[in-house]
Amino acid sequence: MSNESLTVTPTLNVGDEAPDFTLKSASGESITLSQYRGAKNVVLAFFPYAFSGTCSAQMPSYQAELERFNSYDTQVLGISMDATHSLRAFGEQLGITYPLLSDFYPQGKVTDLYGVRHAAGMPERALFVIDKSGKVAWIHVHRPTGEAPDNEELFEVLRKLG
């Protein structure tokens, strides 16, 4: 079976209103997407599994660039279907300070809202940029190649948002 047949297509398009949600962070805080409306762009970084090899490279790459994200008035939110205690341990091990959100219960609700559930059940490695008005500005579903997405394309989108 090819990788393409294992992936899904996001149900959202650029220009769509981003579906609002509230999820628990690894620290137990409730984070709501709309709390950033009017103040910050948001990068939603869906990832399959805490502690997997590619995710353990991808998620710290955003941490390493937090100052750059801040310079573009952008909040990074990592989202997986892992439980909060797993995400807490994952974040602590990797030194991640931005919120890691658990889409654990109900299982995959936000993953499904954004149309990025892999046929195997976990989230795709997918990036969404939500602009300050709450609209989807960019979507990238990274096909399973075992490599983390390149952040430069993401920063080019943020630069264009001003």
Take residue 117 and report the two structure tokens written for it: 């559930």
Contact assessment for residue 161 and residue 137, using Cβ atoms and an 8 Å cutoff: yes
List 18, 42, 44, 55, catalytic entry: 55
Contact assessment for residue 82 and residue 102, using Cβ atoms and an 8 Å cutoff: yes
For the question of residue 102 being annotated catalytic, the response is no
31, containing H or E segment: strand 30-32
What is each CA distance from 42 to 2, 69, 122, 137, 138, in whole angstroms? 32, 9, 22, 10, 11
Q: Which residues are catalytic?
A: 55
